[in-house]
């Protein structure tokens, strides 16, 4: 039986956007960004204790090329298509395609558009786009960092151009800076990008510093909070209290999109951050609560990175439980002691505040 929010009449449904095509895209054997990541997430989600109607799946359609071309160069997308038609090829040393990459990318981008559309139409409450390839490193004219098409950027642009949303906020908590998403909206105030990631001096892609605050109309609408390696639950909590919450309330977005990368967990093999499961739960809850308070609950999460399969399984389960508003079944977690680099986070916050005081916040 469906449960309903009595105040709004919206069906209390969380939808997971997924298609088997997302598992057909593969890079080199042994590559950390592989189809097992989605199987792990699905395994976790299947374990959720739910009553019928709380959680469902949505099958995506291919994105319209005209929506993709608003974020990517047509020539580049045609190159991805050509390479897939030839069986695949190299884009960078660690980012390669196969015969399914082009189509999987179109469906991943289409999945994001479908998710935000369903939420705007009130036919679902919120969504998780469980897709591959991920997107937040993909630039206007190039594949980069395991990403080909920037799914979250295409969904944000779609919201601005096609729906009643005038301001979209993207929060990216993947361990790696979302360079592609940042650059897509660097000169506009229609979309605000906030990146919480491991300091670019210590991790790919080497960008996402405090001084990158946008330009032209976008000046002040691009926020980076680079975290020192080992930063964890405590530091992220401060970042929310001091920066993200006040900025979100000031910006007042109509829709919140989240680049969710579980490589911020301390057990990830590619990054060195210190978040626990509880820390990731806290981030998700802060974002869901901000959406409830400011954006009529409109929020969609997009899977980006995360390379420890056990972590992906558990963190995906928690996230869907949170989105559906059902009790979180936590697993006992080995105690992980966070080094509180208090001076470091305070310095970052002071620097950010100094930069932004002269602007609109």
263/338 with CB nearer Zn ion: 263
Binding of residue 261 to Zn ion (CB under 5 A)? yes
53/229 with CB nearer Zn ion: 229
- At residue 302, the 3 state secondary structure works out as strand
263/321 with CB nearer Zn ion: 263
Binding of residue 180 to Zn ion (CB under 5 A)? no
Are 348 and 225 contacting, i.e. CB atoms less than 8 angstroms apart? yes
Strands, E assignment, the chain: 14-17, 55-58, 90-92, 95-96, 126-129, 168-172, 191-198, 222-227, 255-260, 299-303
Instruction: Tell me the number of residues near Zn ion by CB under 5 A.
Output: 6
Query: Using CB under 5 A, which residues numbered 293 to 332 contact Zn ion?
Result: 305
6/93 with CB nearer Zn ion: 93
Binding of residue 37 to Zn ion (CB under 5 A)? no
User: Among 15, 25, 137, 176, which residue sits at the site for Zn ion (rule: CB under 5 A)?
Assistant: 176
67/263 with CB nearer Zn ion: 263
Other beta carbons within 10 Å of 163: 17
Binding of residue 268 to Zn ion (CB under 5 A)? no
Q: Cα–Cα distance between 9 and 6 in angstroms, integer? A: 5
Whole-angstrom CA distances from 127 to 48, 246, 315 are 16, 24, 15
Per the omega criterion (within 30 degrees of 0), is the bond before 54 cis? no
Binding of residue 32 to Zn ion (CB under 5 A)? no
Binding of residue 67 to Zn ion (CB under 5 A)? no
| Catalytic pick among 25, 79, 137, 176 | 137
Binding of residue 199 to Zn ion (CB under 5 A)? no
CB of 324: closest distance to Zn ion in angstroms? Answer: 25
Give the bridge partners for 198, in sequence order: 227
Whole-angstrom CA distances from 29 to 36, 100, 143 are 12, 15, 19
- DSSP letters along 161-230, please? HHSS---EEEEE-SSS--HHHHHHTTT-SSEEEEEEEE-TTTSTT----TT----GGGTTSEEEEEEPTT
Nearest to 262 by CA among 133, 148, 173: 173
167/197 with CB nearer Zn ion: 197
User: Among 174, 199, 254, 321, which residue sits at the site for Zn ion (rule: CB under 5 A)?
Assistant: 174
Binding of residue 265 to Zn ion (CB under 5 A)? no
Nearest residue to Zn ion on Cβ basis = 305
CB of 144: closest distance to Zn ion in angstroms? Answer: 12
Binding of residue 254 to Zn ion (CB under 5 A)? no
CB of 351: closest distance to Zn ion in angstroms? Answer: 24
Binding of residue 33 to Zn ion (CB under 5 A)? no
Per the omega criterion (within 30 degrees of 0), is the bond before 243 cis? no
User: Among 263, 268, 321, 338, which residue sits at the site for Zn ion (rule: CB under 5 A)?
Assistant: 263
CB neighbour list of residue 29: distance below 8 Å, 6 or more residues apart: none
CB of 270: closest distance to Zn ion in angstroms? Answer: 7
Is 265 considered catalytic here? no
Nearest to 307 by CA among 336, 273, 330, 332: 273
Tell me the catalytic residues: 137
Which positions lie near Zn ion, rule CB under 5 A?
174-176, 261, 263, 305
């Amino acid at each position: 039986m469906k449960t309903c929010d009595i105040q709004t009449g919206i069906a209390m449904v969380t939808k997971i956007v997924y298609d088997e095509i997302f598992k057909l895209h593969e890079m080199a054997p042994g590559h950390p960004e592989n189809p097992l990541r989605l199987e792990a997430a699905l395994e976790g989600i299947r374990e959720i204790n739910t009553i019928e109607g709380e959680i469902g799946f949505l099958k995506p359609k291919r994105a319209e090329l005209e929506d993709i071309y608003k974020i990517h160069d047509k020539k580049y997308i045609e190159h991805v298509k050509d390479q897939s038609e030839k069986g695949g090829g190299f884009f960078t040393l660690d980012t390669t395609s196969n015969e399914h990459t082009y189509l999987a990318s179109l469906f991943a981008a289409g999945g994001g558009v479908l998710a935000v559309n369903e939420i705007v139409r009130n036919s679902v409450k919120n969504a998780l786009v469980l897709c591959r390839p991920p997107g937040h490193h993909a630039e206007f004219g190039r594949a980069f960092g395991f990403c080909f098409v920037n799914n979250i950027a295409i969904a944000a642009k779609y919201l601005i151009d096609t729906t009643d949303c005038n301001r979209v906020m993207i929060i990216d908590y993947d361990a790696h800076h979302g360079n592609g998403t940042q650059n897509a909206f660097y000169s506009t105030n229609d979309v605000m990008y906030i990146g919480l990631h491991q300091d670019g001096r210590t991790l790919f892609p080497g960008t996402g510093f405090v001084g990158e605050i946008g330009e032209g109309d976008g000046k002040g609408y691009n926020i980076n909070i680079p975290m020192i390696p080992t930063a964890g639950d405590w530091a992220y909590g401060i970042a929310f209290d001091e920066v993200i919450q006040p900025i979100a309330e000031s910006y007042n977005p109509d829709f919140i999109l989240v680049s969710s990368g579980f490589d911020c967990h301390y057990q990830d093999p590619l990054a060195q951050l210190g978040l626990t499961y509880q820390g990731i739960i806290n981030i998700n809850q802060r974002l869901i609560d901000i959406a409830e308070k400011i954006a009529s609950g409109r929020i969609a999460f997009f899977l980006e990175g995360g390379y420890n399969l056990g972590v992906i399984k558990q963190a995906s389960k928690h996230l869907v439980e949170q989105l559906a508003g059902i009790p979180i079944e936590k697993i006992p977690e080995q105690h992980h002691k966070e080094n509180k680099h208090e001076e470091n986070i305070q310095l970052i916050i002071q620097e950010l505040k100094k930069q932004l005081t002269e602007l609109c916040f």
